[in-house]
Structures are given as C-alpha cells and as structure tokens.
Structure 1
Amino acid sequence: MPSLTLPQPALTGFPTVDALEAAFLALSENAPHLVRRRILGSSRLGEPIPVYAIGDGPKHAVIAGGVHPNEPIGFHTALTLAERLVADEGLRRELGMTFHIVPCIDPDGTRMNEGWFASPGDRGSYGRAFYRPAPDEQVEWSFPLSYKRLHFDRVLPETRALADLFDEVEPALFVGLHNAEVGGVYFYVNRDDDALVRELSAIPARHGLPLDIGEPESPDLVRLGDAVFRCPTVAERYDYLEGLGLDPLAEVSGGGSADYLQRHGTLVMVAELPYWTHDDVADEGSGGISYRRVVQDRAEALRALGETLGGALSRVEAHLTIPSPMLRGARAFAPLMTALADAEDERARRLAFDRIATRAEVFSNEDAVRSFRLRFGGMLLRALEVECAAGVAHDTVRRERDAFRDVYEEWVAEAERVPLRTLPLTDLVGVQLDAVLAAARAAVTA
C-alpha cells in the first residue's frame, strides 16, 4: 500500500487542546453533511470531550488521541485522518466504516504538557514540562478489571466515556494514538493476522524511519513479526510478575483498553512512534557486554532512581500542602521504579543462558533509564515548584527543591550528551496514519 501524501509545509510542533478542537470544529462546520459532532462526557475538571463521526458504514472504528497526555503525535494523525476521510469519497467507500474520532480523551492531562509542544526536539524542555498521570489516573490503564487479587473499579470519567462509546458501537477496530520517545517504530496488535503484521512492519521504511529492534517495553511481550508485538493485557502482566515470585499489585492497577475490548472482539492496534532516534537503535552488532549484565545494570539504575525520587519525597512529605497531579504522579512513579528494578533483577537471575547483547539492546536499556529520570524527576521538580510558586513552601521544601534541581540538571546534561536525531514529525504522522488505515482494512475484511 503506498504511503499517504501529508500536508505541507512540514509539521514542526503539536497543537494545544484548544487549537486541536478549533481545527475539528472548523472541519465539522465546513462539512456538516459528513462530520457529526457530539459530546461523550466531561473530564475530571469539567471540560467537554467531543467525538466526531465520519462515514456511515456498518462497521465502526474508534480512534482516540491523548490516551497518554504526553504522547501528542496522534493529535496530528487524528486530524489528518479526519481531513482525509472528508476529502476522499473513494476511501470512505473502500473502507465502508463509520469512524468515531476522539481528538483528545484527556484534555486535563494534555494541558499540563503544553509547555513543551512548541519545541518537541528539545529533550531537556520535554522533561522539564513533562506530565504523565499516576497509573490509576491514566485513561489507558483505568478500565474496570477483576483478576485474581486485583480488583479495580475507580474508573475515571474520561475512561467511562470511552468505555460507553465502545459499548454503544461495538467497534471492529480501536486505535489508541500512542507514541514512544527514543528509538525506532514498533507496533502492537491483539490478533494473529500475518498479513497485517507484515504490512505494519513494512510501513516505517516507506517513510525512511527505522524499526525498533532493541529491548522491547516489557520482556514478557510476544513477538509476532519485525517490531510487531501482541498487545499485552493486564492479566498477562499479572501472571508474569507472579511467575517471578513478585507481588503484581506493586505494579499493575486498572485494566487497559485491550482488556476491556475483549468483550467486543475488537481488533486493537497501536503504533508507537519515537520523537528521537540514534544510530544504535537498529544495530544488531555486538554491544561488547553480556545481556545478563545489561539487565542487571538497568535494574541497579532503576533502583537508584527510585531511591533518589523516594528520598526527596520523604524529606518533604510532612510539609507538602498542594496535592497537585504532578505530586500524585511522583508519589506513584517513585516506588514503581523500585518495583521495575525488582522484576529486572529477578529476570536476570532466571535467564536460562547468557549471551552478548546487541548494541541496540545496550542502548535501549540505558536510554530507558535516562527517559525515566527526565520524566519522573521532572514531575517531582514541578511538584516542588508548585509549592514554592504558591507561596506556601516550608523552608525544607525550598531547600529540597534547590538540591533536587541540581540533581535533575545533571540528568538532563547526561541525556543531552547522547547524540540523538529528531525525527521528522510529518513522517511520524505518515507512519501512524498508514498503520491506522492498514488496520481498518484488516478489520473490514475480518
């Protein structure tokens, strides 16, 4: 399938929540016979969440942007898809689907990331203005779920709105518009469809982008093809951690969209796209170190990160007065780093045999730690700065803010010494859009 022609000039930044909604509103006003707008529900802070329906086919596709609010590549993809469907009657006829496009399912969280949207190539700016909700406050991981000792029913209003849409239209396809940070392109699907897997693997090369062949996001993932994995469920992650002799409840919380959509037999596809890449992400040559040592080093670094974040929090906890989203996230992610370290330690211990790691594996494991430092350290620093900016910071908080800022700036400097290339946003959107259409064709013919 040929790649799509995307708007020119090249994309250089990300739209704010308001700009994205204005663009969709204009599209619906200019083509009211094709684009139907309604409100799904409201966010926790009272913001309406619209959905735009395009097409009138008997099968339905749900496309949602902002499922993680620090992953805005999909905002461009959602708008480009809508524009393409409106402009191309032949495509609408070919697919024969009704598309329900939710431009941004988490407007509250997205607004807290808008500080870096204008300069997405600057990794330091990204980290300093980064926000990701605590796991049980993420739309993607707060669907209701009961499994063994896990029972989650604290469903967010945003998640409830999306689940209600799923139950209403029983979609043949769901695409949550995610993206990664550093590396190559990779995909998740929840169905063993060899033709779709091959198609997804081939899409990035058409846009000049690399596949990710380093360490996958989780060692328990099932590989279906080149950089394509089976979409994981929370139950599978629970069983994996339990099999390592660890407590799954230290890591898992609510269900994911793939868990919830099992009831509807929906094809779920995710295209993970990086902002930056590096020469080593596709290098399968020798990394000069054993794979077991790579995993152990990652575990040690994650444990040290958890201790640094947790130590800073413990020293100020008695004096904090503002329960900001950044603080709730920092409180959740600090112990999660330790839980991830425990899992990696145990995995390294249980490796049946050792081998030399590839350069891609060495890089991806090392950079995962750099990413977590910038992400969660940035959130903790923002939480402390909120106290100071509000004029309610105890002297202990101000001193800890200053000391932790020095640590954080060292982490930023270390990350910025790694020679990364910022990938063209237009090409990233092209990959995601091609993947959505490939999945739509697979869902129609299933």
Structure 2
Amino acid sequence: MLATAADRHGIPVEALPSDCIGLPSPGAGVFVMPEPAAVADRPTPFPGEWVPAGGSSMHYVARHGGLGISPEVPMWQTQAITLSAADGAEYRRQAVRILEGVLERVPPTPSVFRPAVEEQIAIMRLMTRIARENPQDCADQDLALLVLLRGAGMLLRHLDVLLTEMPRHTAVLTERTALEEVFTKWIGTAERALRPVPFTLAQTVGYQMDVILGAACLVQA
C-alpha cells in the first residue's frame, strides 16, 4: 500500500533514512518501530547525547488495536550524494563546536529556541556515534548536510530574541553576524550537493490521502 501510493504520485522511496538505521524493515522504505524498552532496561545514555523518549503515538495506536503509520513526506526531491560516514560525522563535530561556542559567548538568557538548539547539538552527537558504529549504513546520507542547518537556524532565532531584549549588545551582534555567514556557507554546500527540486502540493497531499485511505481499508479488512 505504501509503495503503491508513493509510486502513484511520483515520490521516490528512500532505501535507508539516517533516522531508521537499525530498525527492522519489511520492504523498501518501510520500517517498523520496535516496542520501547522498559525504563529500567534502557542502557545508560552517553554523556551529551540525545535520548529518545521511547514510546510514540504509533505504539499507543497499536496497543489499542489500531495500525499506527507515520508517513514521512518529503518537500523536495534531491540528488544522491557520495559522502562517507566519517566525513558526515566530521561535519557534525564541527557544527557542534560552532554552535556550542556561540552559546558560551552570549548571555545565558533563555528563549523558546535555546532548548531546541541544545537538543540539536545532542542529536548530532548521537548521530556521530551511530556513524562510527555503522559506517556502511551511515554513508551517503543527506541529513549529514541538513542537520547542521537545523541547529544553526534555531540558534539564529535564539540570537534574534536576545537582540529584541538587548539590541546593542556587542557580543550578540558579533556572534549573529558570524553565524549567519556560516549558515549561508552551509546552505550553499547542501544546495550544490543535493540540488533540491520541490514536489508539487498535489504530489505530497495526494500521497498522504492515499496512505490514510489505504490504512483505513487495511484496518477495516
């Protein structure tokens, strides 16, 4: 059903997204979320790494007799890239150093964006370790170029909040200017490598509607 819906709307299926590495797969582009381990059975997290919450809405639906499906619908189609797991990990390590450095050099004033930046840093640390442990599966992943942009974009928003409260703060102004230059460079790198072409709204919405109706038919049957 999932493959048919994607094919009908001209949306290519990604063989192994970076956030699905290690998950069981019944078919191309489809991955099964395992039941989360009990809290007492979870391994000790690595320092500074992001820790998944465990259960999700899909698990909740399954426990109540439903079929939980979470379709990932891309906004654009990208070119395949050649990028070793080691090179992708080095991009993330550099990004972590840059983002952490900015946070250390500006006032610790909170905003709604600062926790998101800190979470992205923790996610990049986790991704770096996964790449070291699974170099073959983590090669040629476009997220290695995109996750940097998430963190930098969130940090720019955080700095903008600080500037509304302290518009003449020299350190914040300096850090924002420098970070925007880095952000622009990272965007250029990703755009040249991935050459994104947006999908039409008819493709993305049509695919989601087909999945919804197809899942309803499966459950009813």
- Do the structures match in fold with TM over 0.5? yes
Give the counterpart letter for 1:206 in structure 2: R
Select the structure of larger CA radius of gyration.
1
Q: Does 1:225 align with 2:27?
A: yes
2:197 is the alignment partner of 1:421: yes
Maintained 8 Å contact 1:231/1:268: no
Q: Give, in angstroms, the shift of residue 362 of structure 1.
A: 5.0
Q: Percent identity?
A: 30
Conserved? CA contact 2:58–2:69, under 8 Å: no
Query: Within 5 A, what are the aligned runs for 1:159-178?
Result: none
Is residue 2:75 matched to residue 1:299?
no
Q: Give 1:87-126 correspondences, 5 Å limit.
A: none
Residue 298 of structure 1 deviates from its aligned partner by 2.1
The answer on whether the counterparts of 1:306 and 1:336 sit within 8 Å (CA) in structure 2 is: no
> Alpha-carbon deviations, 1:88-132, whole Å to 9, x = none?
xxxxxxxxxxxxxxxxxxxxxxxxxxxxxxxxxxxxxxxxxxxxx
Q: Equivalents in 1 of 2:46, 2:166: separation in Å?
A: 40
Cα RMSD of the aligned pairs, angstroms, is 2.8
The answer to whether the aligner puts 1:247 opposite 2:46 as a matched pair is yes
Which residue among 54, 57, 69 is the counterpart of 1:257? Answer: 57
Q: Among residues 144, 153, 160, which one is paired with 1:378 in the alignment? A: 153
Q: Secondary structure at the match of 1:302?
A: helix
Deviation at 1:279, TM superposition (A): 4.0
Q: 3-state DSSP class of the match of 1:331? A: helix
| Aligned residue identity for 2:64 | H
In the other structure, the counterpart of 1:209 is: 11
Shift of 1:234: 4.2
How has the CA–CA distance of structure 1 residues 412 and 233 changed in structure 2, closer, same or farther, with 3 Å as cutoff? farther
Residues 320 and 393, structure 1, Cα contact 8 Å, conserved in 2: no
Residues 332/268 of structure 1: CA separation in 2 closer, same or farther (3 Å cut): same
Contact kept, 8 Å, 2:76 with 2:199, in 1: the verdict is yes
Q: Deviations over 1:271-292 (max 9, x none)?
A: 11111112438xxxxx6x8xxx
Between the aligned partners of 2:149 and 2:28, the Cα distance in structure 1 is 29
Matches of residues 232-381 of structure 1 in structure 2 within 5 Å?
Answer: 232-235=34-37, 242=43, 247=46, 250-254=49-53, 255-280=55-80, 294-316=84-106, 319-321=107-109, 323-348=110-135, 362-363=139-140, 365=141, 367-381=142-156
Structure with more of its chain in helix, by fraction: 2
Find the counterpart in structure 2 of residue 400 from structure 1: 175
Aligned 8 A contact 1:374 1:411 in 2: yes
Q: Return the alpha-carbon distance in structure 1 between the equivalents of residues 19 and 52 of structure 2.
A: 18
Task: Look up the SS of the partner of 2:71 in the other structure.
Answer: strand
CA gap of 1:435–1:248, structure 2 versus 1, over 3 A, is farther
Deviations 1:369-417 (A, max 9, x none): 2211221110101100111133356322221111111111111222232
Structure 1: unaligned runs, 5 residues or longer: 1-198, 282-286, 349-353
Higher strand residue share: 1
Please list the CA deviations of residues 272-331 of structure 1 after superposition, one character each: whole Å capped at 9, or x if unmatched. 1111112438xxxxx6x8xxxx22222222222212211111121xx132x221112112
Matches within 5 A, 1:137-148: none
How far residue 233 of structure 1 moved from its aligned partner, in angstroms, is: 4.6
Point out where structure 2 has 5 or more consecutive residues left out of the alignment.
Answer: none
